[in-house]
Amino acid sequence: MGVMTVLAGLTMPAVKGLASSNGLDTGARRFADLLQLARSEAISQHTIVRFALATQWTGQDDAPLRKASLWSWDPETQQYFQTTSWETLPVGIIVESSIPGYVANASYATNDASSIKGDCPLNPAFVQQNGFTSATTGSTVTMQFVQFLPTGGAQIPGGSLRNVIFVMTPGYQNADGSLTHTTQFNGQPTNWAQLNVDTLTGRVRVYQP
């Protein structure tokens, strides 16, 4: 029994780490696919398509920084309308509210410093300028976005850097809006997924440590 207890103690953290890794892979793939769909729709429909991430959602505390959908511009109504259902990150995975400093220590950042140079739609400056709100499923949702143009390029209105960057990691949002990482070492996450959108081409690239 003693041996089994020790083995169980060693196995459970490993299983938890594996689950977090699988969740990150799944989440990165879901959001990358949605970003690529936004680009394709913008080109094929000759319009602007937004990849919008929920930042506030009345009545759903677990939705902010975990749900995203596409919104297309309708020139007739002069409004954006939702064109996909909400895509949700796996349980325990959340998008960082900024480009965190820990990504600078990743091997991919060391090899190519340009990989971590970009604008994050959740930057407070963009939140003030580019947030938009919609009533959906009986709730009010506030969103931040990167938008794709008919040319295939992408932008955050007001952004100036080559990449638009989202970083997702195992964690959860606290009541005060801060984020707690659930897998970390020396105060930093041990795993994450970084999604870069090239503003010139609209192409999406995923980085992981």
**What's the pLDDT tens digit per position in 120-179?**
999 998 998 999 999 877 789 999 999 999 999 999 999 999 999 999 999 998 888 888
pLDDT confidence of residue 4: 45
pLDDT confidence of residue 1: 53
Structure-derived torsion over alpha carbons of residues 124, 126, 132, 136, reported in degrees to the nearest 10: -60
pLDDT confidence of residue 179: 86
**Residues forming a β-bridge with 39:** none
Mean pLDDT along residues 181-191? 86
CATH number, domain of 194, equals 3.55.40.10
Measured distance CA(47)–CA(35) in Å, rounded: 15
Measured distance CA(200)–CA(151) in Å, rounded: 9
Which DSSP letter does residue 35 get? Answer: H
Q: Give how many domains the chain has, as a whole number.
A: 1
Segments forming the whole domain that contains residue 127: 2-207
> Contact, 208 vs 28, CB < 8 A?
yes
The set of long-range contacts for 190-193, using a CB threshold of 8 Å and a minimum separation of 24, is 190/17, 191/17, 191/20, 191/21, 191/24, 192/24, 192/96, 192/102, 192/103, 192/167, 192/168, 193/24, 193/25, 193/27, 193/28, 193/167, 193/168, 193/169
pTM greater than the 0.85 cutoff: yes
Measured distance CA(141)–CA(82) in Å, rounded: 12
**What's the pLDDT tens digit per position in 39-78?**
999 999 999 999 999 999 999 989 999 999 999 999 999 9
> Contact, 92 vs 182, CB < 8 A?
yes
Strands 179-181 and 118-119: unpaired
Measured distance CA(55)–CA(70) in Å, rounded: 15
Choose among 59, 52, 122, 121: nearest CA to 80. 52
**Average pLDDT across the chain, whole number:** 90
Range with top average pLDDT, 16-20, 127-131, 193-197: 193-197
Q: What is the DSSP string of 155-191?
A: E-TT--SSEEEEEEEEEEE-TTS-EEESSEETTEES-
